[in-house]
Amino acid sequence: MMAREDWSEFPGNQEQHGSESAQPLMTLTYRSRATGAMSPAGLRQLREMAAARNRAEGVTGVVLYDNQRFFQWLEGPPDGVARVWSSISRDPRHTDIEAISVHAAPTRLFGQWDMRLSTSREEMADLRGMSPGLIHPEAERLATLAIGTDSDAVRGLIADVFGRYESLQTVTEQLIEPAARRLSDLWSSGDCSEYEVTLGLCRLQTSMRVLMADSVPDIADEPLVVLVAPLPGEIHLLGATLGAEATWQAGWETELRFPSTEEALKKIVATNWFDAVDLSLSPANQREHRIPSMEKIIATVRRASQNPALVVVAGGRAFYDRLATSSDVGADASHASAAQVTQAIEQARRGRL
């Protein structure tokens, strides 16, 4: 994950504060832990102060407070978000402050709120994009195209967005994964079939592979050897494909495998050296019923590994929707997006030092 004051990956941060139309929009999400239980009055004061500060900077967003944990989404001009983040980082009311994602955004999701405060996990899940009204318009359009008949239109939209932002992380977090979740939600509401969801995810996966086919990343000075795989039995392979692309783009030695059984995965890690393993559940469906089996399989991987210091990270929609954490599945770290897999691995390795 990104360090508290690391803004080197925040494009456009040198822009002067001005009209929104003259600047790119940026999004920052982070989580932290309150230093003490927050009273209703304390939460109201926090919201009022944050709203006033955000109004002055042209920043909007939402914050979730649950069980002494904060999760916050900020969006606005890069310089404004940077100043708000600097203030947040110094606030003594919370600790263990961890930036989850910083990236360009095509539009605001929460433009009507200077700072919306929620103490309900269910409400926050809706706010974070499960509601069709809060998904980026291009991700909504991509989901519709993915279950249609025009594969060229799918590839064209993805290529267009990538051409504008030139960032695999932005395309993954703001376009591909939201579209995947939208496909699952369409199926849940009866607006498309399970077959159409699977077909749509395959189109997204194929389009991303075509888009990145000619990319040749620089090899890292000390590249990690990483196995990226879906959890055995997971039929949605998009998350693993995106994760493998992220580690390969980081210059790491990446092996992408699709083991059909736990025994097949065990054999892979028993006969090859890996510094880290990334296992993923579906990026579209929540799969909360598979969380216990994921814990069991991760324990099996650790026992079978040639590397006694093996790092294991986990991802998928269950982690995006906060239905699972790394401790729930026995992983060293988890990620809410496949684009964050390298940060999750590096965070876990630092924790071992």
- The string of pLDDT tens digits covering residues 282-303 is 999 999 999 999 999 999 999 9
CATH class of 20-122: alpha beta
Per-residue pLDDT at 4: 36
10 Å CB burial of residue 42 (0-12, 13-18, 19+) is middle
Q: Does domain 225-352 have CATH number 3.40.50.850?
A: no
* Tokens encoding 231: 């959890």
Bridge partner list, 101: 29
**Tell me: the pLDDT tens digits for 19-48?**
444 467 888 888 888 999 888 888 888 888
Q: Which residue has the higher pLDDT, 301 or 149?
A: 301
SS3 72: strand
DSSP string, 286-321: --GGGHHHHHHHHHHHHHH-S-TT-EEEEESHHHHT
Read off the pLDDT band of 3 (50, 70, 90). Answer: very low
The percent of residues in the chain predicted with pLDDT above 90, rounded, is 53
Q: What percent of the chain has pLDDT over 70?
A: 88
What's the pLDDT at 287?
Answer: 94
Does residue 311 have a pLDDT over 50?
A: yes
Q: Which tokens is 301 given?
A: 């991987």
- Of 64-78, 171-185, 190-204, 301-315, give the range with the top mean pLDDT: 301-315
* AA identity, residue 6: D
Closest CA to 111 of 176, 183, 54, 68: 54
In the chain, which residues fall in CATH 1.10.1240?
Answer: 137-211
Residue 192 pLDDT? 87
* Residue range 107-133: mean pLDDT, rounded: 60
Average pLDDT of the chain to the nearest whole number: 85
Amino acid at position 112, single letter: Q
User: How many helices and strands (H and E) does the chain possess?
Assistant: 14, 10
End-to-end Cα distance, the chain: 16
pLDDT of 183: 94
Residue 316 has pLDDT above 70, yes or no: yes
Residue 347 CA to residue 341 CA, distance in Å, equals 10
Task: Supply the pLDDT for residue 246.
Answer: 95
Q: Quick one: which H or E segment has residue 242? A: helix 238-249
Q: Which of 5-9, 180-184, 246-250, 342-346 has the lowest mean pLDDT?
A: 5-9
Tell me which of 124 and 78 has the higher pLDDT. Answer: 78
Place of tokens 């929104």: 20
Question: Taking 70 as the threshold, does the pLDDT of residue 324 lie above it?
Answer: yes
| CATH hierarchy code of domain 137-211 | 1.10.1240
CB atoms within 10 A of CB 289: 8
Q: Could you give the residue range(s) of every CATH 3.30.70.100 domain in the chain? A: 20-122
CA distances to 12, 66, 79, 82 from 86, in Å:
16, 23, 11, 6
